[in-house]
Structure 1
Amino acid sequence: MIDHGFMCHSCGQRHEGLPFSYGTPAPAYWRDDLNNDERSVLEDEICIIQAQHYFVRARLVIPVLDADAVFEWGVWVSLSSTSFSRMLDHWTTPGREQEPAYFGWLSTELPAYPIETLNLKTKVHTEQVGTRPHIVLEPTDHPLSVEQRNGISVKRVQEIAELLLHHEG
């Protein structure tokens, strides 16, 4: 059995359990004052901002090459009004995973990358009912896209953990 605890280079302490997934509660564009806006809604899986911008929560999966595992970013992706409506229309429909992928823009800023992750082009793939959609980034030289295509090591998972466990705001 692999010990997924690690000695943190940031604080010098040992952390038990190396997390293999992180997520954000809202798209980067959500602001607290929108809680009082009747045209805006933030739920666990969907978000609408001022009845103009539509988001769905999704998984960005990255293979972990030396652990026979996957690393997941829980992210938000913006969809067009048409795609968002279609996704909602099929939300509880068995077989929805046969739907063609939807185009979307990554709407989560991931601090583990030196280059902004907002607005990377994605394809949103619907999964079986009860499973969050997953996204595939457009193949570019952006470090996140490269990691999704090529995979990462457990050492990289630890680097991400060290950064996020001690990330200030």
Structure 2
Amino acid sequence: MSEAFVCSVCGQTHEGLPTQWAWKLPDLVWAIPEGDRESAADFTEDVCAYDGRFFIRCVLPIPFTHQADFFGWGVWAEVGRSTFLRYLDLYEADGSTEPPLPGTLANVISLYGAPLGQPVLIQFGTASERPMLRLTNDDMSPLAREQRAGMGADRHHEILKALGAL
């Protein structure tokens, strides 16, 4: 029996197991009552500005050890104004040669106990790729350790079950 899932974005059935999970907005903005959110914050699927704070949607990859590719946590990073503006400058260009820039995690990944404000490094990508997040080398959190070591099939299933995706 092959495994498959129905994509929540396109509605199509895809073979295999989901390899990504994403937050629609930074936790701070998601907490704004739905009726007030659009007037309080300026956001798209990729960027968000709220109350003088700036956010970029990124992918925090956890490499698989049992197959090629990675599990992508689609999270938001809070960044400084200059990083935000640089990202906007490069939005339709190849920013992959830019040096990594600092930010902080703007979503709680409860499966790891990953808190808001955890330091990250942001690597811009090409115009068709979201920026990638890497936790810092001195970070010894469970999330950082798994990002460095990777996850096997059992852990992948464990995460999907915890998320209600299986």
State the match for 2:22 in structure 1.
Answer: 23
Q: Matched residue of 1:104: which SS? A: strand
Structure 1 residue runs of 5 or longer lacking an equivalent are: 6-15
State the match for 1:55 in structure 2.
Answer: 55
State the match for 1:44 in structure 2.
Answer: 45
State the match for 1:160 in structure 2.
Answer: 159
Q: What CA distance in whole angstroms lies between the structure 2 residues aligned with 1:96 and 1:116?
A: 27
Structure 2 residue runs of 5 or longer lacking an equivalent are: 5-14
Q: What CA distance in whole angstroms lies between the structure 2 residues aligned with 1:144 and 1:120?
A: 10
Q: What CA distance in whole angstroms lies between the structure 1 residues aligned with 2:162 and 2:156?
A: 10
Q: Matched residue of 1:74: which SS? A: strand
Deviation string, structure 1 residues 60-87 (Cα, Å, up to 9, x no partner): 1111101223111001001101111111
CA root-mean-square deviation: 2.0
- Give the TM-score of the pair, scaled to structure 1: 0.82
Q: What CA distance in whole angstroms lies between the structure 1 residues aligned with 2:71 and 2:133?
A: 13
Q: What CA distance in whole angstroms lies between the structure 2 residues aligned with 1:110 and 1:4?
A: 25
Is 1:116 the equivalent of 2:114? yes
Contact 1:61 1:71 (C-alpha < 8 Å) held by counterparts:
yes
Identity rate of aligned residues, in percent?
27
Task: Compare CA radii of gyration and give the structure with the larger one.
Answer: 1
Contact 1:106 1:119 (C-alpha < 8 Å) held by counterparts:
yes
Q: Matched residue of 2:104: which SS? A: strand
Contact 1:97 1:126 (C-alpha < 8 Å) held by counterparts:
yes
- Give the TM-score of the pair, scaled to structure 2: 0.83
- Is the deviation greater in 16-25 or in 147-156? 16-25
